[in-house]
Structures are given as C-alpha cells and as structure tokens.
C-alpha cells in the first residue's frame, strides 16, 4: 500500500459483480482513483482514499448500486478510533507534556567540595541565589547564581554550577578561617602537660631545664623563660 494512502487514510469498498460495469464507469467519469481491484465470487472490491470513498459511495447510491464498506485504515482512522476515548487522549497529551517539560526543570542539586558548610546550607544559599529543585533551566543564569552565592555567604571563596541534564552539580571551595589567635609575646615558662620521657627537643627561646632521656611529670618545668640570677641581668622571654 502506498504511503499516500496510509497517511491520508483508505477504505475498501465492494459491490455486486453485476454492478461492476456501472461502478467502474462512475470512477472514470468523476475521476475517483482506486487501487487493488479484486473479484471474489459474486463481488468486486476496490480500495479508495477516504476522500474518494465517500464520494464514490454517494454516486453509487444515486444509481441504486449497493455498496459494502470495510473499516477505514491509515493514520486518520487510527486517531479517529482513539479520539472517541477522552481518557486515552488526555493520557497521551499528559505524557507528551510531561516528557517535554521534564527536561526543562532542575530535578536535583548535588553539592561537593564543602567541608564545614553542610550540603543543606549550601543549597539554601543557592536557593536564595536563584537555583533550587524546580528551577526553570532555560531562564537559569549560572554565572549570576555563582556571584550571588559568594556575596550572600562570606564563607564561600569560590563556587561553580554546572548543569548536566536535569541535575545541577555544584562545586564549593570554602574560605580558610582566620580566627586563630596571634601568638603571644608575653614571658612564660614551658611545662609538661603530662607524664612522659624526653626523646628529642629543640629550644627556640628560653633556657632548657632537662636532657634527652629525662622523665617528667605534669607541671615539671621543661624550658624556663627567665635568664640570669641578678635583677640587672635578668631577661624575660617566652619559652618555645
């Protein structure tokens, strides 16, 4: 069967062999194209497009030629059968729309590289910056999202957002905390924190009060921060 017939639909019509001459004359007179003529016993059948079949049948009725119809076939007939079932049509449309729109929204946000910040904290910052589950991908500007995230959270030194399908992959680099206290330069002794044996030591400042192999108890003086024995010659330093 030609592709033309399948696209626009076709139908097979039959009539009595005694009416064959009149039926074929109608086709020739009005220009109704047909295909695949068959003679089966006392009946003759022809295949028409749906457009030609309805007009051919009307001309036959005018001449009192009885015509028998077989079910319509082709693409129009296929959709015609299902259009009478609203549930099937709605289900098909819903599935098509779901497939179309599902690829246009963010389904998941995956965070990596974070240390002190939790994934939920990073996702909250991203949501305030315009990226979250459900965000519309065509309107998503990752460069703007990254810039806003770094402005909103001063603990983020660098952030990168990369889309792969419906998943947003987020890489984070946190700022190194600068909350360590500046070493004090006040004079002080260095004492043992717990019991042990001295294996090795290097005295950067102060006077060493022990030797390798000595055992110490908590509170024992290891390195003194006082030099000299007389007041004019005493030097105070921080043992290290």
Report the C-alpha gap between 197 and 4 in whole angstroms: 99
pLDDT at 162: 93
pLDDT at 124: 93
Residue count of the chain: 240
Residues 153, 157, 160, CA angle at the centre, nearest 5°? 90
pLDDT at 52: 87
Tell me which architecture the domain covering 108-174 has in CATH: Roll (3.10)
CB atoms within 10 A of CB 145: 21
Report the C-alpha gap between 190 and 176 in whole angstroms: 29
- Specify the residue for token string 């194209």: 33
Domain ranges of the chain: 3-76, 108-174, 190-236
Q: Which stretches of the chain drop beneath a pLDDT of 70?
A: 1, 4, 77-89, 92, 177-184, 227-234
pLDDT at 92: 67
CATH for 3-76 is: 3.30.70.1360
Mention every residue, 6+ apart, whose C-beta is less than 8 A from residue 36. 12, 46, 47
Report the C-alpha gap between 159 and 143 in whole angstroms: 10
């Amino acid at each position: 069967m030609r592709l033309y017939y399948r696209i626009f639909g076709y139908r097979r019509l039959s009539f009595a062999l005694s009416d064959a001459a009149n039926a074929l004359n109608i086709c020739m007179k009005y220009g109704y194209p047909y295909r695949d003529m068959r003679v089966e016993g006392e009946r003759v059948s022809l295949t028409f497009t749906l457009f030609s079949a309805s007009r051919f049948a009307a001309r036959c009725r005018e001449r009192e030629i009885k015509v028998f119809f077989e079910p319509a076939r082709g693409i129009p007939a296929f959709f015609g059968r299902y259009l009478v079932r609203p549930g099937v049509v709605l289900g098909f449309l819903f599935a098509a729309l779901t497939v179309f729109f599902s690829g246009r929204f963010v389904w998941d946000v995956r965070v990596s590289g974070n240390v002190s910040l939790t994934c939920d904290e990073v996702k909250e910052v991203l949501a305030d910056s315009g990226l979250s589950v459900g965000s519309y991908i065509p309107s998503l500007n990752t460069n703007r999202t990254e810039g806003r995230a770094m402005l909103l959270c001063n603990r983020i030194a660098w952030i990168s957002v990369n889309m792969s399908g419906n998943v947003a992959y987020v890489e984070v680099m946190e700022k190194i905390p600068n909350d360590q206290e500046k070493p004090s330069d006040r004079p002080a002794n260095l004492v043992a924190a717990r019991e042990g044996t001295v294996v090795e030591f290097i005295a950067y400042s102060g006077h060493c009060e022990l030797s390798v192999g000595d055992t110490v108890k908590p509170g024992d003086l290891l390195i003194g921060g006082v030099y000299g024995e007389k007041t004019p010659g005493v030097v105070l330093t921080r043992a290290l």
